[in-house]
Chains A and B, each alone.
Chain A
Amino acid sequence: MLSRVDGSSSELEIASATGLEAAQVTATLSRLAELGAVRFETPSSERPRVAPRSSTPSGRLTLKPAVEAQVVHISEHPGSSVRYDAKELEEAADLEPERKRRILDVFYRLETLSHYEILEVEPSADRRQIKARYYEVVNVFHPDRYFGRALGSFKPKLEKIFQRITEAHDILTRSEARAEYDAYLTRHRGTEALHRLLTDEQARAKELREIEDRILAEARIGDRNESLRPPPSQMAPRIATPAPSDPARASDPGRASLTGEAPQRTASDTTDLRRRVLARKLGGSLPPPGARSAPATPVAPVTSSPETRERAVQELKRRYEERLLDARRKKAEELVAQADADLGRNNLADAVNSLRIATSLVPGDDRLSGRARELESRAQRHLSDRYLEQASYEEREGRFHDALRSYTRALPGNPSPALHDRIAYCLLSVGGDAKKAIDHARNAVREAPDKPAFRVTLARAFIAANMTESALAELERAKTLAPSDDTITNLIRRLKRGA
């Protein structure tokens, strides 16, 4: 990944170049930054408000992304990324190059910026601030600013930008409309959060570790209490082992891995940790597992016989593990209850999260894991449905980029041929990767071979890839399916004429 860091690529671009998840890239980048391998530029003063988040390290993942108070729209569209063809700057328009750049930069992000972002105001900005800011940007983007100048294609672009900033102003300065919009943003954030939750194992692993650490720490305290109060059936084995007084130190290795390179802790890791802590409790009498050496603890003078001692040790070990297991169960139950509560509040994201963690805490519980799986697929379907809604709305609004993203995200939860068809269609609409479009359209046709519309999409994808022959063949097949469809006939005629 380091090889892709070139000083100008955004996190998203690096992600797409390396095939990693964006969140992974962000995390790795911040790790690299800690190590001094890379350095984040401070946000440039020129556009301080538009995309501060794209240039600040955002590797610290929040515990509950669902309540993250950030605008999500932009997170995938960093302001630094150039989205226009440099040739457009060369158009002979009577505008300063800097102005042209600014117009193009905003124009090509019109559909991805939130109302706050397009006006470059904070989501907390009050009405006055929004108005003042609007008046400022109007003076940059209103075509009358350039009256009498030859603007070429920049004039309609300015008009579009103006319309968009006015829409943002009109909505954000009316309290009712703003509340509605904020609610929309929150909903949108909801799907984003759910999406992240379902795809982001890292965040969950971290949360799980934190819970584990807490359980272990509590178990140790319980252990200390226990050692003061001997179990009734037994003579108190005076173990003078000073319990590690600082729980933080005890879990140091774990902590290190939290911020360390290896982000995921496997099940064996957890077992290992448990063993190590136990070993510390028992003071050197248990051989250190694996290559790791437990911190040496002084062995206290022992008075009883080796057998009694061994029994006591076994007993202690058993009880300790029992306590741990109890704590885990208790925590898992808590989590299940929490998940139920979340479900009651329709908060699918948090419910799934809680159940997943609960499952990890009590790995053997089939009922629990079954429930988690069921809920997870429900969440996946729910997310898929939300994305479908979002996508069809976006497609209707002509926001094909957004629609493409939403359709793509809906796919795992609902891999239907129609969805593949829509993805292909949107890809073609935004002039995206024709090969990808062909793949999706083929998928749709393979699974629903008798749908002429899907074949037409595939043919269009072929046309986009300059594969006229294949397109014609596909259209002919579509025609046999729908002989009276003028669209197909027309397309065939046009193609033949063109060829």
Chain B
Amino acid sequence: MERVIGIDLGTTNSCVSVFEGDQPAVISNRGGYKTTPSVVAVTEAGKRLVGHIAKRQAITNAENTVYAAKRLIGRKWSSPQVKNAVLTSSYAINEGPHGDVRIRLRDKTYSVPEISSIVLQEMKIIAEDYLGEPVRKAVITVPAYFNDNQRQATKDAGTIAGLDVIRIINEPTAAALAYGYGKDLDRTVAVYDLGGGTFDVSILEIGSSGVFKVISTTGDTFLGGEDFDARIIDWLVSGFQREHTIDLRQDRMALQRLRDAAEKAKCELSSVKETEINLPFIISTGRNEALHLQRTLTRDTLEKLTDDLVERTVEICRQALEDARLHVDDIEDVILVGGMTRMPAVQTSVAAFFGREPNKSVHPDEVVAVGAAIQGAALVQEKKDMILLDVTPHALGIMTFGSNFEELIPQNTTVPTSRAKIFTTSRDDQTAVKILVMQGESRQAADNEMLGEFILTGLRRAPKGHVEIEVTFEINTDGIVSVAAKDLDTGQAQSIQVTASSGLTQDEIKAMMAGAKDYMVERRADEEFEGVKQEAETLIAEIERLFPEIERVVGTADFGRDAIAKARSAVDRARGAMKDRDPNAVRLQVEQLQRTQRMFKGVVARG
């Protein structure tokens, strides 16, 4: 059985898990952490950094450090969310060739899936290092409320990272899997998932025979921990402005320091009542005078600053229950997921709404990756003990006459599914009809997400309304949407597989895959070079330590002078090879150095 890893690709942190034996295990990265920051940076030297190292250098390299790429993935350049991100991001966001979003780091432009692929690749490496074998297959999670374009973009990111993404699953659903797996429960649960950037609520029924059935899911893809941080930053910035009449936002480095401080303060306030925010030398005035930022933030203040955000999550919970046609009393357990659920105000609001203490048995940061690993294992193993029945988070339909959106598959329909509807022509003698496939809840087509389009031709000429066209939507188990249109009179039919667009063409994805592969080779070579380099340096240090002793013992003899000269040149050659970053040359010199060291040691021992 081929191993499948489960990756929680988060807005702020990512996590990877794999099924071992009969239990899922969360894999730590090299630093020993179970989660890795979803941060990507490019250094001045053009070196690519991911995770903790990238996060650590963010302050000094803010313009070339990408945070929260997930907020941009699969979105169009023209979307309000991107417009907003352009204003608040420390890195440069540009328009791509397909109306998509590109990020500029140093002298190179990256697509958003490419940035995410760098994080995914890192998670893949973490898993490979742990397992000691190559990993190919993965289940990746996305917020339940992601639309098909965002899902496709995430899948593309996986492909670029060299992963075969066997399934994309929803984060709250994954959490429920981890919560209920192997427990033979029979209950209705709510999953409250407040992550770094997104918020989801899902209502599920966990039934006998290992069936997990999602009843409803809803959320907000732009509501998460980052928004809480932003409130703290606003508070700090406006306070500073009042005091010094200086806008800290104008300084990217200051902004990055504020961001870090805000996040840290927010986390601390989950366990203490107040915390000190101390940022010395945050900015200098025009007169070269350094200013410091120092403020005390209390839990009460934080709660006041963010109470509308928490209230919004509660509203969404209400919506999810309504969509599920359930009452609060029907919910038998509430599962909290995401780092933000550590906030006491969130916990009390959730408890108050559902009328019960939320369950804290799952790890809010790791549970999603664990669920992904469980689903991965359940799919590939022969004995399948779990079936996940998820729903479409958004309605699917087509645009009809007058730019109206006509829904075919409603929100919260269990997939796989298919629906058909009959439409008629809107003009006399209309011989062709354009089918615009859309996703969303608005009656106005323009407010919804475009997924694709195709044209049905060869309609018979007839007065308007006389030609009947049957449009069939189908979503299969793998989440692939296909749409077929058929002229009921002539039998003329046309169909497409709607490949939601990540904003990338297949060729671009291929090129990016090749780039990622090159990077992998480079990175592995780098690691190898670092290894031999370290070895060479140790040897050189040892040899140089021995030089005086050797001089003393054999320095007077001809052969001794000779040996010393040889040793010196070996050391020089090794240094040269290291300077050239040529691992093979260094390896060659290492052998020479080892001989020299052996000889020196022998001489010292005898003499």
With CB as the reference atom, state the residue of chain A lying closest to B417: A163
B404 contacts partner chain A, Cβ-Cβ < 8 Å: no
B489 near A487: Cβ-Cβ < 8 Å: yes
Residues facing A in B202-227 (CB within 8 A) are: 205, 207-211
B434 contacts partner chain A, Cβ-Cβ < 8 Å: no
B490 near A144: Cβ-Cβ < 8 Å: no
B477 contacts partner chain A, Cβ-Cβ < 8 Å: yes
**Chain A 158-192 near chain B by CB (<8 Å), digits 1 or 0:** 01101100100010001000000000000000000
B416 near A162: Cβ-Cβ < 8 Å: yes
Q: Which of B116-124, B153-161, B384-392 contacts A (4 or more CB under 8 A)?
A: B384-392
With CB as the reference atom, state the residue of chain B lying closest to A160: B418
B209 near A163: Cβ-Cβ < 8 Å: no
A143 near B477: Cβ-Cβ < 8 Å: yes
CB of B424, distance to nearest CB on chain A (Å): 13
Q: How many A residues touch B, CB cutoff 8 Å?
A: 30
B414 contacts partner chain A, Cβ-Cβ < 8 Å: yes
A163 near B416: Cβ-Cβ < 8 Å: yes
Residues facing A in B464-478 (CB within 8 A) are: 476-477
Contacts of A147 in B (CB 8 A): 379-380, 384
A208 to B385, CA, bound (A): 60
Contacts of B460 in A (CB 8 A): 485-487, 490
Contacts of B387 in A (CB 8 A): 138-139, 142, 144-145
Contacts of A36 in B (CB 8 A): none
Q: Which of A129-137, A256-264, A468-476 contacts B (4 or more CB under 8 A)?
A: A129-137
A345 contacts partner chain B, Cβ-Cβ < 8 Å: no
A292 contacts partner chain B, Cβ-Cβ < 8 Å: no
A484 near B461: Cβ-Cβ < 8 Å: yes
**Chain B 440-475 near chain A by CB (<8 Å), digits 1 or 0:** 000000000000000000111110000000000000
**A159-B476 contact in complex given A139-B209, A490-B490, C-beta closer than 8 Å:** yes
**A144-B379 contact in complex given A139-B211, A486-B431, C-beta closer than 8 Å:** yes
A485 to B490, CA, bound (A): 11
Most-contacted residue by chain B among A131, A159, A486 (CB, 10 A): A486
A170 to B388, CA, bound (A): 16
B422 contacts partner chain A, Cβ-Cβ < 8 Å: yes
A398 contacts partner chain B, Cβ-Cβ < 8 Å: yes
A232 contacts partner chain B, Cβ-Cβ < 8 Å: no
A396 contacts partner chain B, Cβ-Cβ < 8 Å: yes
B461 near A144: Cβ-Cβ < 8 Å: no
Contacts of A298 in B (CB 8 A): none
CB of B476, distance to nearest CB on chain A (Å): 6
Residues facing B in A105-144 (CB within 8 A) are: 131-132, 134-136, 138-139, 142-144
B328 contacts partner chain A, Cβ-Cβ < 8 Å: no
From A159, A396, A485, A491, B461 is in contact (CB under 8 Å) with A485
From B208, B418, B458, B489, A132 is in contact (CB under 8 Å) with B208
A170 to B431, CA, bound (A): 40
**A166-B389 contact in complex given A174-B325, A487-B490, C-beta closer than 8 Å:** yes
A142 near B380: Cβ-Cβ < 8 Å: no
With CB as the reference atom, state the residue of chain B lying closest to A143: B477
A116 to B140, CA, bound (A): 37
A142 to B389, CA, bound (A): 9
**A159-B414 contact in complex given A138-B389, A145-B387, C-beta closer than 8 Å:** no
From A136, A143, A487, B209 is in contact (CB under 8 Å) with A136
A170 to B490, CA, bound (A): 35
B511 contacts partner chain A, Cβ-Cβ < 8 Å: no
Contacts of A160 in B (CB 8 A): 418
A148 contacts partner chain B, Cβ-Cβ < 8 Å: yes
**Chain B 415-440 near chain A by CB (<8 Å), digits 1 or 0:** 01110101000000001000000000
A148 near B379: Cβ-Cβ < 8 Å: yes
From B325, B380, B388, B416, A159 is in contact (CB under 8 Å) with B416
A143 near B211: Cβ-Cβ < 8 Å: no
**Chain A 362-384 near chain B by CB (<8 Å), digits 1 or 0:** 00000000000000000000000
A349 to B131, CA, bound (A): 74
Contacts of A134 in B (CB 8 A): 207, 211
With CB as the reference atom, state the residue of chain A lying closest to B477: A143
A206 to B533, CA, bound (A): 104
**A144-B477 contact in complex given A486-B431, A486-B461, C-beta closer than 8 Å:** yes
Contacts of B205 in A (CB 8 A): 131
From B207, B325, B388, B490, A131 is in contact (CB under 8 Å) with B207
B414 near A170: Cβ-Cβ < 8 Å: yes
Residues facing A in B71-106 (CB within 8 A) are: none
A155 to B583, CA, bound (A): 52
CB of A304, distance to nearest CB on chain B (Å): 86
From B209, B378, B422, A396 is in contact (CB under 8 Å) with B422
Contacts of B417 in A (CB 8 A): 163, 166
A486 to B387, CA, bound (A): 49
A398 near B420: Cβ-Cβ < 8 Å: yes
Contacts of B389 in A (CB 8 A): 138, 142, 166
With CB as the reference atom, state the residue of chain A lying closest to B459: A486
**Chain B 180-208 near chain A by CB (<8 Å), digits 1 or 0:** 00000000000000000000000001011
CB of B80, distance to nearest CB on chain A (Å): 35
A156 to B461, CA, bound (A): 34
A148 to B422, CA, bound (A): 35
A323 to B102, CA, bound (A): 101
**A138-B416 contact in complex given A144-B388, A486-B431, A487-B489, C-beta closer than 8 Å:** no
B414 near A135: Cβ-Cβ < 8 Å: no
A74 to B417, CA, bound (A): 24
**A138-B477 contact in complex given A147-B384, A148-B380, A163-B416, C-beta closer than 8 Å:** no
CB of B389, distance to nearest CB on chain A (Å): 7
With CB as the reference atom, state the residue of chain A lying closest to B420: A398
A159 near B477: Cβ-Cβ < 8 Å: yes
A148 to B459, CA, bound (A): 40
A159 to B419, CA, bound (A): 13
With CB as the reference atom, state the residue of chain B lying closest to A175: B325
Contacts of B209 in A (CB 8 A): 135-136, 138-139
A484 to B466, CA, bound (A): 14
With CB as the reference atom, state the residue of chain B lying closest to A142: B387
Contacts of A139 in B (CB 8 A): 209-211, 387
Residues facing B in A395-429 (CB within 8 A) are: 396, 398
Residues facing B in A458-499 (CB within 8 A) are: 484-487, 490-491
CB of A306, distance to nearest CB on chain B (Å): 86
**Chain B 259-283 near chain A by CB (<8 Å), digits 1 or 0:** 0000000000000000000000000
Contacts of A491 in B (CB 8 A): 490
Residues facing A in B375-420 (CB within 8 A) are: 378-380, 384, 387-389, 414, 416-418, 420
CB of B431, distance to nearest CB on chain A (Å): 7
A135 near B208: Cβ-Cβ < 8 Å: yes
CB of A405, distance to nearest CB on chain B (Å): 21
A390 to B387, CA, bound (A): 37
**A138-B418 contact in complex given A145-B387, A486-B461, C-beta closer than 8 Å:** no
A147 to B490, CA, bound (A): 38
**Chain B 481-512 near chain A by CB (<8 Å), digits 1 or 0:** 00000000110000000000000000000000
Apart from A144-B477, A485-B462, A486-B461: 20 A-B pairs, beta carbons within 8 A = A131-B205, A143-B476, A143-B477, A145-B387, A147-B384, A148-B379, A155-B476, A159-B416, A159-B418, A159-B477, A160-B418, A163-B416, A163-B418, A166-B414, A166-B417, A396-B422, A485-B461, A486-B431, A486-B460, A487-B490
- Pick the 9 closest A-B CB pairs, nearest first: A486-B460, A159-B416, A487-B460, A135-B211, A147-B379, A135-B207, A143-B477, A135-B209, A166-B414
14 A–B pairs (Cβ distance < 8 Å), ordered by A: A135-B211, A138-B209, A139-B211, A142-B387, A143-B416, A143-B477, A144-B387, A145-B387, A398-B420, A485-B462, A486-B459, A486-B460, A487-B490, A490-B490
B-binding residues in A (CB < 8 A): 131-132, 134-136, 138-139, 142-145, 147-148, 155-156, 159-160, 162-163, 166, 170, 174, 396, 398, 484-487, 490-491
A-binding residues in B (CB < 8 A): 205, 207-211, 325, 378-380, 384, 387-389, 414, 416-418, 420, 422, 431, 458-462, 476-477, 489-490
